[in-house]
Amino acid sequence: MYSYLRVVFILFLFPLMLPAQTGAGKETKPDTVGLHRFFSKGNFSAQARNDVMATFNNGTLTDYCAWAIGAGIGFESAVWKRFQFGVSGFFIYRLAGSNLTKPDSVTNAANRYEIGLFDMEHAGNYTDLDRLEELYLRYRSGKSAITLGKQMLNTPFINKQDGRMRPTLEEGIWLTLNEIPNLSIDAGWLYGISPRSTVKWYSVAQSVGIYPLGKDINGNPSGYKGNINTRGIGLFHVAANPGKSFQLNIWNTFAENMFNTLLLQTDWEVKLKKGIKWKSGLQYTWQTAVNHGGNDNQTLTYFPENNKANIISAKTGLEKNGWGLHAACTRITADGRFLFPREWGREPFFTFLQRERMEGMGNVHAATLTAQKDFTNGVKVNVAYGHFYTPDVLNVRLNKYGLPSFNQLNANLRYPLGGFFRGVYIDLLYVYKGRLGNIYNNPRYLINKADMHHLNLIVNYIFSSKEKK
């Protein structure tokens, strides 16, 4: 890991050494097109992050807490002959907290949330938590670009899924075309993943199974970790904006030899009287296996060859002067489980609330109501409440992780500081999850899933040399 950070720091020091060497012994003319401008006109960035997280479970079940800090630096060069490059790295350090490697004494269940601040693959590793995050070369032409290397993507299913210390990153080639008015196209092939809550880079096949595995459709512990055969992920996206108030997005995610996920989404906006906007959206997601779902042996595969998933999600709401009130619902049919490796990103359904997912589920009904206020000084307040009706915890065919039906309340505050502390952002998240479904007197279906409170306090400092003064 330390070799990765050496690369980052060498690339940072190299441009700083250039002026001293080129200026020694004689006066030089300003360099307007050369290597020095390539570096000096680039963007240096830095981030420091402080994250305190705690979970309070029901009764005698174990409570957890953890306190992590970290910092990182990054650089993106100026464009030279249409080329530019970027590099960044980050390290994490544990200040205090519970013993996250010790399972709960009643259920033998492992910690779920706090361990994600560090290294999911090596629980208890707090001393070697540095990661080379970005290292890419980009070619620009007009409004379009092609990027090769380690980078951060934000697609509906493969995304940074921020909410711990560091996000998920991807390695591959990514093309963005924006030359046609009201139409944009993205396409790419990914061959590497560095999931959130890890410090290594993995092949796409190796990345599947780092997070908890759940059970297969027969009720046995899933056996796909280390047994997946795939060469990578292909993505294709078309976004059309035929009018200012309507947008259409088509996303296709093809995990070679595993599965295919197609997402169709429309969003539209209607301006009403007195400055009120009515915004709505509709999604349809369809999944099917590719070949045998990752392994010919169905006890070792990720996506069972007969599995299919159909998901419909809708939202509607009103907005005015920074205020917003939105309602959403999601239906996952009983055709099969919705499956997508949690190591790659979180689902984009309109009912998604932080700290829980519907991945691994079938036959789900979900509904949420969200109220938000964005103040002119940058303060944001968001309160969301939802009911999530999942299959019975004993229905392993449609409930991979044994998650009972639950209700959830999220309250989130973002507060940017100013003056001397400009660039500092405070995020406070409170989550309550109540139980609605039967757990058959087995607290293993309860711990870290329902009848729990969760708190998260994050203090971020973000600096960019290109930021407006």
Segments of the chain scoring below 50 in pLDDT: 1-2, 4, 7-8, 10-11, 13-28, 30-31
Q: Do residues 433 and 448 make contact, with C-beta atoms less than 8 angstroms apart?
A: no
Q: What is the pLDDT of residue 32?
A: 55
Q: Could you state, in order of their start, the residue ranges of all structural domains in the chain?
A: 2-18+36-464
The total number of residues written for the chain in this structure:
469
Q: What is the pLDDT of residue 450?
A: 97
Q: What is the pLDDT of residue 291?
A: 96
Q: What is the pLDDT of residue 249?
A: 98
42 exposed, middle or buried (CB, 10 Å; 0-12, 13-18, 19+)?
buried
Q: Note the pLDDT tens digit of each residue in 252-287.
A: 999 999 999 999 999 999 999 999 999 999 999 999
Q: What is the pLDDT of residue 34?
A: 65
Q: What is the pLDDT of residue 25?
A: 45
Q: What is the pLDDT of residue 384?
A: 98
Q: What is the pLDDT of residue 22?
A: 44
Q: What is the pLDDT of residue 220?
A: 96
Q: What is the pLDDT of residue 41?
A: 86
Q: C-alpha distances in angstroms, 252 versus 13, 228, 281, 330?
A: 41, 21, 18, 20
The runs of H, that is alpha helices, within 106-196 are none
Q: Note the pLDDT tens digit of each residue in 330-349.
A: 999 999 999 999 999 999 99
Q: What is the pLDDT of residue 23?
A: 44
Residue with tokens 């780092």: 210
The CB density around residue 325, as the number of other CB atoms within 10 Å, is 13
- What is the C-alpha separation between 114 and 30, in angstroms, rounded? 52
38 membership: H or E segment, kind and range: helix 35-40
Residue with tokens 């329902």: 450
- Beta-carbon contacts of 74 under 8 Å, excluding residues fewer than 6 positions away, are 44, 45, 46, 47, 86, 87, 88, 89, 133, 134
Partners of 146 in the beta sheet?
A: 139, 175
pTM (predicted TM-score): 0.91
The two most distant CA atoms of the chain are separated, in Å, by: 83
Q: Do residues 37 and 28 make contact, with C-beta atoms less than 8 angstroms apart?
A: no
Strands of 142-182 (E only): list them: 144-151, 169-177
Q: Which of 348, 352, 262, 360 is nearest to 303 (CA)?
A: 360
Q: What is the pLDDT of residue 27?
A: 47
Partners of 368 in the beta sheet?
A: 328, 386
Q: Do residues 251 and 237 make contact, with C-beta atoms less than 8 angstroms apart?
A: yes
Express as a percent the part of the chain with pLDDT over 70: 91
Q: Do residues 415 and 400 make contact, with C-beta atoms less than 8 angstroms apart?
A: no
Q: What is the pLDDT of residue 385?
A: 98
Superfamily of domain 2-18+36-464: Porin (2.40.160.10)
